[in-house]
């Protein structure tokens, strides 16, 4: 999809604040600093529309982006850093769970994991959660520009195994730097938002 028009229309915490235009919607999930904003910027073809930072946990609200007046992208804040208190973490978990279970227009979720490492407990927990809610998921391994090319295939297999992905569950190796994987991700999204 060619993005001509993108606008951040709402930063929401509560379902009452979610926009109700009724566009199909895709959520972007993953722990803080994994590269959610960087991925959405690549999909938008914008340099820094969704703000990126070296400061983990900067995004703390559900950010709804209107894309071409056709669909919403939702940047879902991640958590998982020790610096965040247990209470804050529980509040976050509740916000995300409410979003995932109550948002009827949610057509699918792009679940980001750091492509350089093994999946963390957080990633595994997220995987189980999404499974439980029966939401279509595309797995995206980020920052693969940091991997030697010769290791890519092996790393992908390792991630697929550790996440116990099934044949119908796709994993895309992605880099915001080289943009590898961008078309595959758009293809998946376009398929999910079809009427």
- Site residues for Mg ion, 29-68, by CB under 5 A, read 36-37, 59
What sign for the dihedral angle of Cα 49, 50, 53, 58?
Answer: positive
Is 63 a binder of ligand GTP (CB under 6 A)? Answer: no
Q: With CB under 6 A as the rule, give the number of residues binding ligand GTP.
A: 24
Kindly state the smallest distance separating residue 131's Cβ from ligand GTP, in Å.
22
Smallest CA-to-CA distance from 74 within 189, 169, 171, 172 is with 189
Kindly state the smallest distance separating residue 22's Cβ from ligand GTP, in Å.
26
Smallest CA-to-CA distance from 138 within 115, 103, 168, 95 is with 168
Residue 68, Cβ neighbours under 10 Å: how many?
13
- Site residues for ligand GTP, 81-140, by CB under 6 A, read none
Smallest CA-to-CA distance from 120 within 92, 147, 142 is with 142
Is 58 a binder of ligand GTP (CB under 6 A)? Answer: yes
Kindly state the smallest distance separating residue 166's Cβ from Mg ion, in Å.
29
Residues that bind Mg ion (CB under 5 A): 36-37, 59
């Amino acid at each position: 999809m060619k993005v001509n028009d993108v606008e951040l229309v709402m930063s929401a915490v509560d379902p009452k604040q979610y926009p109700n235009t009724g566009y199909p919607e895709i959520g972007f999930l993953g722990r803080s600093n994994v590269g959610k904003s960087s991925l959405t910027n690549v999909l938008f073809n914008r340099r820094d529309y969704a703000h990126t930072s070296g400061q983990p946990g900067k995004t703390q609200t559900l950010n709804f982006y209107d894309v071409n007046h056709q669909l919403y992208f939702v940047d879902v804040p991640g958590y998982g850093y020790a610096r965040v208190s247990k209470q804050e973490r529980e509040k976050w978990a509740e916000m995300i769970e409410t979003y995932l279970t109550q948002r009827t227009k949610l057509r699918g979720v792009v679940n980001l994991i750091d492509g350089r490492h093994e999946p963390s407990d957080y990633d595994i927990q997220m995987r189980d959660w999404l499974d439980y809610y029966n939401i279509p998921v595309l797995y995206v391994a980020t920052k693969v520009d940091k991997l030697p090319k010769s290791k890519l295939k092996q790393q992908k297999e390792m991630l697929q195994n550790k996440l116990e992905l099934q044949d119908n569950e796709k994993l895309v190796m992605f880099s915001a730097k080289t943009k590898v994987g961008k078309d595959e991700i758009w293809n998946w999204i376009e398929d999910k938002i079809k009427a």
